[in-house]
Amino acid sequence: MAFKEADYIWMDGEFVAWKDAKIHILSHVVHYGTSVFEGIRAYKTPKGTAIFRLPEHTKRLFNSAKIYRMEIPFTKDELENAMKEAIRKNELESCYIRPLVYRGYDTLGVNPFPCPVKVSIAVWEWGKYLGPEALEKGVDVKVSTWNRMAPNTFPATAKAGANYMNSQLIKMEAITEGYTEGIALDINGWVSEGSGENIFVIIDGIIYTPPLGASVLAGITRDSVMIIAKEMGYDVRESLIPREFLYTADEVFFTGSAAEITPIASVDKIAVGTGKRGPITEKLQKKFFDIVEGGNDPHNWLHYV
């Protein structure tokens, strides 16, 4: 699944050709993982291309940078305009947007302060994250032998590149063993999240998701689904989730900008419910896509480019 390359990438205020979007091998980020980033989708709607919850993503990017003492040399407005411009410049109707803030080239050594803070924005067409049939059929997952990071080690609510080394361990183990994705427990053994998704569990009509204290990213899709579900009349609870609920739940699904709302068909080869997409998951998906693709947007979550 190689890139569907676009034409231009925005780097520090200018557009460069996709193939020329390069940095020096001794950039701080290459050696020490010194980056924070975002993942955002823009959808084709009846009224044109729109970016989903752009200010919320931009805010999270700036907060991630703040945690790592990186001063972004652009304003939020400038970056939001650059994201829109990148979509127009590449003439994309729908795409994924990847803003990246990183420490560049100056000197090596752990101390990052001498290295300049750089910013890039790439956009490209990205299909269904967990496979073309995942949204309808669901995915088979395993509980990872790897835990999510402990509190006060790697900050989980910062979307930092380095956190994704943990995600890669979870993902590689899952793939190697024939699963599509892994679910990590937190350091105390409670359900945390997927390698790149938040998780929801439905039991007797009540919708549960782990609290932010369970080493999860404060997902923007997670937040959107909680809002939508409450509006649809469901009882939505942030609650510690014991591992075994994954096996006995009626429905389990992932959320994420890339994964959208993806049902989970089985966990550790135990079928979730009937082993098919559950009815509440389907209703939430329908509502979500009615907003992002249908353009029926009561919350003003769509930002037209």
The residues carrying an active-site annotation are 159
Q: How many CB atoms lie within 10 A of CB 86?
A: 26
Q: How many CB atoms lie within 10 A of CB 116?
A: 13
Exactly one of 36, 202, 258, 261 binds ligand PPE (CB under 6 A); which one?
Answer: 258
Exactly one of 39, 99, 263, 278 binds ligand PPE (CB under 6 A); which one?
Answer: 39
User: Which residues, 146 to 175, sit near ligand PPE by CB under 6 A?
Assistant: 167
Contact window for ligand PPE (CB under 6 A) among 65-73, 74-82, 131-139, 249-257:
249-257
Going by C-alpha positions, the residue among 173, 187, 114 that lies closest to residue 142 is 173
User: According to the binding rule CB under 6 A, does residue 219 interact with ligand PPE?
Assistant: yes
Contact window for ligand PPE (CB under 6 A) among 10-18, 112-120, 174-182, 256-264:
256-264
Cα distance between the two ends of the chain: 27
Residues near ligand PPE (CB under 6 A), total: 16
Place of tokens 């032998």: 145
Exactly one of 196, 210, 273, 278 binds ligand PPE (CB under 6 A); which one?
Answer: 196
User: According to the binding rule CB under 6 A, does residue 222 interact with ligand PPE?
Assistant: yes
Distances 120 to 11, 104, 127, 260 between C-alpha atoms, Å: 4, 11, 22, 24
Confirm if 65 and 72 have CB atoms less than 8 A apart.
Answer: yes
Confirm if 181 and 130 have CB atoms less than 8 A apart.
Answer: yes
Residue 63 token pair: 């907060």
Contact window for ligand PPE (CB under 6 A) among 20-28, 64-72, 196-204, 290-298:
196-204
User: According to the binding rule CB under 6 A, does residue 198 interact with ligand PPE?
Assistant: yes
Going by C-alpha positions, the residue among 303, 297, 220 that lies closest to residue 54 is 303
User: According to the binding rule CB under 6 A, does residue 99 interact with ligand PPE?
Assistant: no
Contact window for ligand PPE (CB under 6 A) among 9-17, 115-123, 193-201, 238-246:
193-201
**Which residue type is seen at 282?**
E
Name which of 45 and 167 has its Cβ closer to ligand PPE. 167
Radius of gyration of the chain (CA): 19
State in angstroms the smallest separation of the CB of 216 from ligand PPE.
Answer: 6
Name which of 115 and 246 has its Cβ closer to ligand PPE. 246
CA 214 to chain CA centroid, nearest Å: 17
State in angstroms the smallest separation of the CB of 197 from ligand PPE.
Answer: 5
Give 37's strand partners.
Answer: 100
User: According to the binding rule CB under 6 A, does residue 256 interact with ligand PPE?
Assistant: yes
User: According to the binding rule CB under 6 A, does residue 182 interact with ligand PPE?
Assistant: no
Confirm if 140 and 13 have CB atoms less than 8 A apart.
Answer: no
Confirm if 201 and 171 have CB atoms less than 8 A apart.
Answer: no
Interacting residues toward ligand PPE by CB under 6 A: 39, 167, 193, 196-198, 217, 219-222, 255-259
